[in-house]
Amino acid sequence: MTHKLKLATTSLAGCFGCHMSFLDMDERLVELLEHIEFDRSPFTDIKQVGPCDIGLVEGGVCNAENVHVLRAFRTQCRILVAVGACAINGGVPAMRNHYSLQECLEEVYLKGAGLENPHIPNDPELPLLLDKVYPVSEVVKIDYFLPGCPPSGDIFYNFLKDLIRGKVPRVNKHELRYD
């Protein structure tokens, strides 16, 4: 194969655990790199996403920057994949949806123990928080979902291998885990 598939990855409101699990493919990454090259990703430190074949998105959508990045991924990536529990239903960050944004900010920045000069941060460089944490599929169209917290290295490997071979990727029911 002469043309390598371009792959971008990002973590929105996630913990980078899915990225760590991606690296759990270990030496199989070498094999994959015969067919795939990275575009924007924490692995390359490229900051802007270019035209890609595959975009892997970890994490839910919790702030305005997440929305920008996610929309850029949707525009640039032919196949966009929601990776892990947080991308799929908001996950652990979505537990803040129980409370109003004001309550969350006050609890953390005004009422927290041991705070000096408590105030809610308002630097213009900080991305504005959304009212709730959303699954990525509620912001853009998603083509595939890889559940798990995180999805295992095997799930990543089989998924990418299917795409490289031009097959419709399927997650085996027996491998399905949400935890």
Partner 1 sequence: MVTEPEASLITIDNQKIPFKHGQTIMDAALAAGIYIPHLCHFPGITPHGNCKHCTVEVNGKPVTACTTLATTGQKIRNDTVELNEARKSLTQMLFIEGNHICPSCEKTGNCPLQAMAYHLGMLEGHYPQQHPVREVDASHPTIMLDRDRCILCSLCVRASREVDGKNVFAIAGRGIDARLIVNTPSGKLIDSDIEVGDLAAKICPVGAILIKERGYDVPIGQRIFDQHRISEIGLENEIVKRAPSDDP
- Minimum Å distance from CB 116 to partner 1? 31
The residue among 25 and 155 lying less far from partner 1, judged by its C-beta, is: 155
The residue among 6 and 155 lying less far from partner 1, judged by its C-beta, is: 155
- Minimum Å distance from CB 47 to partner 1? 29
- Minimum Å distance from CB 22 to partner 1? 17
- Minimum Å distance from CB 36 to partner 1? 22
Residues, the chain: 179
The residue among 22 and 134 lying less far from partner 1, judged by its C-beta, is: 134
Residue in 150, 158, 171, 156 with CA at minimum distance from that of residue 18:
150
Q: Which residues lie near partner 1 (CB under 8 A)?
A: 82, 85, 88-92, 94-95, 97-98, 132, 134-135, 137-138, 142, 144-147, 149, 171, 173, 176-179
The residue among 46 and 176 lying less far from partner 1, judged by its C-beta, is: 176
**Which residues does 159 contact at the CB level (< 8 Å), separation at least 6?**
81, 144, 146, 169, 171
Cα–Cα distance for residue pair 88/94, rounded to 1 Å: 11
Residue in 26, 6, 42, 10 with CA at minimum distance from that of residue 154:
26
Residue in 10, 12, 67, 5 with CA at minimum distance from that of residue 32:
5
